[in-house]
Amino acid sequence: MTERIYGRRPVAEAERGRRRVHRVWRAPDTPADELERLCGSPDHQGVVAEVDPYPYADSSALLDAEDALVVVLDQVQDPHNLGAVCRAAEVAGAAGVVIPDRRSASVTPAVCKASAGAVEHLSVARVRNVADWLGYAKQAGAWVYGAAAEAERRYTDVDWSGRVALVLGSEGSGLRPRVAGACDELISIPLGGRIGSLNASVAAAVIMFEARRQRTSRHPA
């Protein structure tokens, strides 16, 4: 069983990533309308590839490193949001991303495109129950922070060293109560505009790069 991904960066990253690339179609050798037919999207940028299915990671292995930073998404259903979170996580040096296996976007070709191919190098794991996985993360020595707009503590005021899980909910409903209750602490990003919210991918990027800033300032290269 194979799938077809599309876009210059996604295909290029797949070619140097983990999964096997079986065939590549490129313009102008393949007409644009044929490329669109092959991948089902007009956003192919002149290249489509047939690849193995996405290799999901073992969720328990994401916390192996003593300084693992794992992003956990609670029912984020927009594939563009998931792709953007994965792109930010890979660039920020996160150990991986955890998503539920139901009521959530999965790693589809559209997510590969939105991530600019980052999913080819990032560990993404699916779990049956997010709150239960957070309990496992705590047992593994991780501190769990949940992003919530109403939280009083700012994301810049916490210690991001060691094993950490950062939990974000969907843009519309935020964290579900049981997932929020499984967090050690809720944190927020102070906002100055009128709309009063950020989507999950922007919030994840802001917080992850604060974590990276703290970690690199303690251990400069």
Q: Is 39 strand, coil or helix?
A: helix
Per-residue pLDDT, 198: 81
Give the C-alpha separation, 121 to 104, whole Å: 21
What's the DSSP call for residue 62?
G
Give the C-alpha separation, 145 to 186, whole Å: 6
- Residue 200: alpha-carbon gap to chain centroid: 10
The torsion angles phi and psi of 187, rounded to 5 degrees, stand at: -130, 160
Give the C-alpha separation, 204 to 163, whole Å: 17
Per-residue pLDDT, 174: 86
115 CB-contact burial (10 Å; exposed 0-12 / middle 13-18 / buried 19+): buried
Upstream peptide bond of 28 is cis (omega within 30 degrees of 0): yes
**Structure tokens belonging to residue 166:** 């950062």
Rg (CA), the chain: 18
pTM of the model: 0.93
Per-residue pLDDT, 219: 64
What's the DSSP call for residue 76?
-
pLDDT tens, the chain, 221 aa long: 999 999 999 999 999 999 999 999 999 999 999 999 999 999 999 999 999 999 999 999 999 999 999 999 998 999 999 999 999 999 999 999 999 999 899 999 999 999 999 999 999 999 999 999 999 999 999 999 999 988 999 999 999 999 999 999 987 778 999 999 999 999 999 988 777 678 889 999 999 999 999 999 876 65
Alpha helices (runs of H) in the chain, residue ranges in sequence order:
8-15, 32-39, 79-92, 109-114, 130-139, 177-181, 200-218
Per-residue pLDDT, 160: 96
